[in-house]
Amino acid sequence: MAAQTEQLGDRPAWKALQAHAQQIHSKHLRELFAQDAARGKRLTVEAAGLFLDYSKNRITDETLKLLIELATQSGLRDKIDAMFRGDKINITENRAVLHVALRAPKDEKILVDGVDVVPEVHAVLDKMAAFADRVRNGDWKGHTGKPIRNIVNIGIGGSDLGPVMAYEALKLYSQRNLTFRFVSNVDGTDFAEAVRDLDAEETLFLVASKTFTTLETMTNAHTARAWTLKRLGDEKAVAKHFVAISTNAKEVAKFGIDTENMFGFWDWVGGRYSMDSAIGLSTMIAIGPNNFREMLAGFHEIDVHFRTTPFEKNLPVLLGLLTVWYSDFFDAQTQAILPYEQYLKRFPAYLQQLTMESNGKHVTLEGIKVSYDTSPIYWGEPGTNGQHSFYQLIHQGTRLIPCDFIGFYKTLNPLGNHHDLLMANVFAQAEALAFGKTAEQVKAEGTPDWLVPHRVFEGNRPSNTILADTLTPGLLGKLIALYEHSVFTQGAIWNIDSFDQWGVELGKVLAQKIVPELESTDEPKLAHDSSTNNLIRLYRKNK
Ligand code: F6P
């Protein structure tokens, strides 16, 4: 596959896009819409219950053609097939990348090292469902015989962000007599606040960690153990109040959790791709096994779409290619995710790990330093709150910020005309960003000349609008899979390993070295730079 070792900048489509971008830079969306009355309908795709309007992007048919050629020349099709086949495409860790197997139906067969992993996936799902049902109906009793009322998930990164996001997103479907809390930060405040009003007799801790060695999670888990034992006074209580979610049975046993109470997953599930594995146990307890399975079916529908649909109609491919377009040909540094759905308030934070831990890479698969930008910075807040905060910069600042608007035809909480007001804002924002307001229009409103420049909106600011019927578990699965595969598409073009995360290692190692320096009673010999030495001394003196 010559395309994969070739430098991205040498690909014919890349060169053609560079030349083409020069022409597009000077074109305004007003012009593109004026030239083509059908554009707003034509540049849309609907699949698997998701409607994407990408007409308000700074593209022409030629741009799309070239981007799709770039995908082809980058071997995207082969790379997709390799992932679904279970090839070890996470080359720096020599691992398959098979989050798609987590939502594969029972009759599918996916081999890793010659073993079909689908039966194992379903066995864990069944074990989770049996456990979730026992907790939900009060059959799982705590050490003193009381039913569990509080579930505290302890995890960080992929073992926290997905569960928190999904719990918030699907709160309407959750069993309301259960309380859910999420502890992630090693800052003791996180734990202290999460448990301050909880009764240990009714509290179950889910210790979620792929490796079961992560400093934050293990520290919080030990604190949770001590908190429980102090209140229940018996080591045996651990069996009723702690379960583990991990790939590392040895460490789970070492911690003192019976591996009977462990829900497993596999090294071919990346942390940021794990919310639909056993890591989703809190989600399943909250919404019930049937809703969880509906969510998995939603993921799967987009998996099939991604795998089988031609690129020009393929939602994740289009989204991914547009991100490459703005990152590498418009120098866009960031991408805003703007869900107009309160339940999706943690969705942007979830996507930050998914996108930036995956594609924040500086070398190619061959280890060569890239000569182009990789992942943009993802950020965002739910609408309409963001409008009264940072939208000023998106509309009139000096930076180009592509935006993804996400909205629903139907609200889960009909209240007067709230939903029409909400959705009017989605459409208005995308319209204002694209078309702006000219000096002539501002003047025609009687604005004094000196004020005109301040009130001009240049427009030509790109956005996607993603619409769906209503936020259900299945729809959430679709939305997540859409972005997972958009990230995959971007990584395939950039020829990087989207599935490792070496970039988080250095800080972790240095912190381990500094801990004893902060805690020792003797003055430690500090061998850091002068700034770090000074900060450590200051902390030691004042702590
Ligand atoms: O931040 C690095 C990382 O390894 C993430 O990829 C992962 O989601 C997180 O730490 C938590 O890891 P674990 O589930 O092993 O505790």
Q: Is 265 exposed, middle or buried (0-12, 13-18, 19+ CB in 10 A)?
A: buried
Q: What is the pLDDT of residues 123-139, one digit of tens each?
A: 999 999 999 999 999 99
Rounded to 10 degrees, the C-alpha dihedral 15/19/22/28 comes to -100
Q: Relative to the CA of 217, which ligand 1 atom is closest?
A: 16
Mutate to test the pocket of ligand 1, among 504, 508, 509 (most ligand atoms within 8 A of CB): 504
Q: Centre a 10 Å sphere on the Cβ of residue 11 and count the other Cβ atoms it contains.
A: 18
- Helix then strand then coil, in percent of the chain rounded to 5, is 55, 10, 35
| Alpha-carbon separation of residue 86 from 273, 395, 500 (angstroms) | 15, 44, 16
pLDDT over threshold 60, residue 364: yes
pLDDT over threshold 70, residue 377: yes
pTM for this prediction:
0.97
350 lines ligand 1 (CB under 6 A): no
Instruction: Look at residues 77, 75, 117, 73 and name the one whose alpha carbon lies nearest to residue 95.
Output: 117
- The predicted pLDDT at position 91 comes to 98
Confidence of residue 5 (pLDDT cuts 50, 70, 90): low
Across residues 459-474, what is the average pLDDT?
Answer: 98
215 lines ligand 1 (CB under 6 A): no
> Is 21 within 8 Å of 91 (Cβ atoms)?
no
159 lines ligand 1 (CB under 6 A): yes
Confidence of residue 6 (pLDDT cuts 50, 70, 90): low
Q: Relative to the CA of 272, which ligand 1 atom is closest?
A: 8
pLDDT over threshold 70, residue 3: no
- Average pLDDT across the chain, whole number: 97
Q: What is the pLDDT of residues 165-206, one digit of tens each?
A: 999 999 999 999 999 999 999 999 999 999 999 999 999 999
ipTM exceeds 0.95, yes or no: yes
- Entry field: residues in the chain: 543
| Alpha-carbon separation of residue 527 from 507, 520, 539 (angstroms) | 16, 15, 16
- The predicted pLDDT at position 524 comes to 86
Confidence of residue 302 (pLDDT cuts 50, 70, 90): very high
In the numeric block, the tokens 């139906």 are attached to 105
> Is 265 within 8 Å of 279 (Cβ atoms)?
yes
